[in-house]
């Protein structure tokens, strides 16, 4: 093994090159700090760009168009014959997009004078990070500040081993070489439902097994119920309140042992492919956190106070710490942590981080759910508006779903906004802006919205808080 090279000094060393890490590196460069980003993948971008957010959206987009061509085009008078799916080309175009994005991050590093140090990073003491390259060469970096941005990895399911091509995690589900006839998704969260939607649209029979008695934990339960109804109408089958206890590879695919979560008789389910999507866990193993006195909690998360870990000069952002495990939350953490390091006033409001499920229809929300408001004893009002009454959605045959605005019963301050419908992920940001400025439902209700647009549904829902919805 090669001798350790002489230490190279930086103002900031970031461990992890995902959305948190690479945005922190870019911001540090913009502020004139010398910065190195340590990333063990062959490309920058982390899980999100390489095997997560971006490739899944490429697959969702392609599969959505395929389903539209097979089911919706004929009703619109567009006759193109019977479409077929070429999985090799589907995968190739996905990878082309991913490559373009990761190369773009490399360009931004050069533009902002941020160094990419290829290898696995490990803290070896205060102000020191050791990087081990693929060939075993070790380099030591020194820094005034170290930022932990290592992200997360899929959570394994006890009793179920991954089997290439048969029992897969989200990464494996994005790389299947053919459309399975049957697929079981273990976990009814965002990742499982998005990837399950991809393969259902392309022809797979999809069954979702979920331990809880509902889908999408964290989503407003009223919306979740309506969302499950839509997914069922599209062809997904749900087995809720069920736990998977074992998986066995057989000639025909995989056999899963499933039993009621509350106890009872087990049954066997069979599928060509099983996707395990029960969540993600922070990637903190082997980071040398103990060398600076940091001890993750039982789930592996590093606690923080304004992104500080408690160890001098060591910061933490993204999925490794508190707040939603979302790429855009990591990006906000990234900007805030670098600005704090640079002596500025960095801040992230975790209550205003939007969530989006990129199925069709999309589901997006920000702020409190009705469940949370009821549990907290908060008096609130509700305004709802269905997309069946929205002109643009009706013309486009996109009428599943509704918009819902929750506002304080006394002050009218917006407490939460929930949208299930076409392009909900784009529309939610109007609510984010209004809530960031402490806006009331009346503020959205009295802002002129272009007609005909889907976003008028949000305006009408806001009008509904005070009972003057006009178009439903």
Q: Which residues are catalytic?
A: 451
Question: Do 119 and 134 form a contact (C-beta atoms < 8 A)?
Answer: yes
Q: CA 13, 46, 134: angle at the middle one, nearest 5?
A: 70
In angstroms, what CA-CA distances link 81 with 74, 77, 88, 90? 9, 12, 21, 19
In angstroms, what CA-CA distances link 381 with 171, 327, 373, 404? 42, 31, 10, 10
Please give the Cα distance from 411 to 378 (Å, whole number).
12
Please give the Cα distance from 296 to 188 (Å, whole number).
27
In angstroms, what CA-CA distances link 354 with 324, 351, 364? 9, 9, 7
Question: Do 351 and 373 form a contact (C-beta atoms < 8 A)?
Answer: no
Positive or negative torsion for Cα 422, 424, 425, 429: positive
**Nearest alpha carbon to residue 15 among 106, 113, 131, 110:** 131
- Cis before 373? omega within 30: no
Start-end of H helices in 68-189: 87-111, 170-173
Counting Cβ atoms within 10 Å, is residue 276 exposed (0-12), middle (13-18) or buried (19+)? buried
Cβ atoms < 10 Å from Cβ of 48 = 24
- Cis before 368? omega within 30: no
Positive or negative torsion for Cα 97, 102, 107, 111: positive
What angle do helix axes 53-67 and 87-111 make, rounded to 10 degrees? 140
Please give the Cα distance from 206 to 198 (Å, whole number).
10
């Amino acid at each position: 093994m090669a001798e350790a090279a002489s230490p190279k000094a930086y103002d900031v060393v970031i461990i992890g090159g995902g959305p948190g890490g690479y945005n922190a590196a870019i911001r540090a460069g913009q502020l004139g700090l010398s910065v190195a980003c340590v990333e063990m993948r062959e490309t920058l971008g982390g899980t999100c760009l390489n095997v997560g957010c971006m490739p899944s959206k490429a697959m969702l987009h392609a599969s959505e168009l395929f389903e539209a061509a097979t089911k919706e085009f004929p009703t619109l008078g567009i006759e193109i014959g019977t479409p077929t799916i070429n999985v090799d080309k589907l995968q190739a175009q996905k990878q082309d997009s991913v490559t373009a994005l990761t190369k773009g991050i490399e360009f931004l590093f050069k533009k902002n004078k941020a160094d990419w140090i290829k290898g696995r990073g490990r803290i070896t003491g205060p102000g020191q990070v050791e990087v081990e390259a693929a060939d075993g060469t070790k380099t030591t970096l020194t820094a005034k500040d170290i930022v932990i941005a290592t992200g997360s990895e899929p959570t394994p399911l006890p009793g179920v081993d991954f089997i290439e091509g048969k029992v897969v995690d989200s990464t494996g589900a994005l790389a299947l070489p053919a459309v399975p006839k049957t697929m079981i998704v273990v976990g009814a969260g965002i990742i499982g439902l998005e990837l399950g939607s991809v393969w259902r649209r392309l022809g797979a029979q999809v069954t979702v097994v979920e331990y809880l008695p509902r889908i999408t934990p964290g989503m407003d339960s009223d919306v979740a119920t309506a969302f499950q109804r839509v997914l069922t109408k599209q062809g997904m089958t749900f087995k809720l309140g069920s736990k998977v206890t074992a998986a066995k590879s057989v000639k025909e695919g995989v056999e899963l042992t499933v039993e009621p979560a509350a106890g009872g008789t087990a049954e066997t389910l069979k599928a060509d492919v099983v996707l395990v999507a029960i969540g993600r866990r922070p990637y903190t193993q082997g980071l040398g956190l103990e060398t600076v006195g940091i001890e993750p909690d039982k789930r592996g998360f590093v606690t923080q106070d304004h992104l500080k870990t408690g160890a001098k000069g060591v910061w933490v952002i993204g999925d490794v710490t508190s707040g939603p495990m979302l790429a855009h939350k990591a990006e906000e953490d990234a900007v805030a942590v670098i600005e704090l390091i640079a002596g500025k006033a960095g801040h992230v409001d975790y209550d205003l981080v939007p969530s989006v499920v990129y199925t069709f229809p999309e589901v997006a929300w920000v702020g409190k759910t009705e469940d949370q408001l009821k549990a907290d004893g908060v008096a609130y009002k509700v305004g709802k508006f269905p997309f069946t009454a929205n002109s643009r959605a009706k013309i486009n045959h996109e009428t599943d779903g509704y918009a819902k605005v929750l506002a304080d019963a006394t002050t009218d301050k917006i407490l939460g906004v929930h949208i299930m419908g076409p392009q909900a992920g784009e529309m939610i940001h109007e609510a984010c802006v209004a809530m960031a400025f402490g806006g009331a439902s009346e503020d959205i209700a009295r802002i002129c919205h272009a007609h005909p647009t889907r976003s008028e549904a949000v305006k009408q829902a806001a009008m509904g808080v005070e009972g003057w919805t006009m178009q439903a």
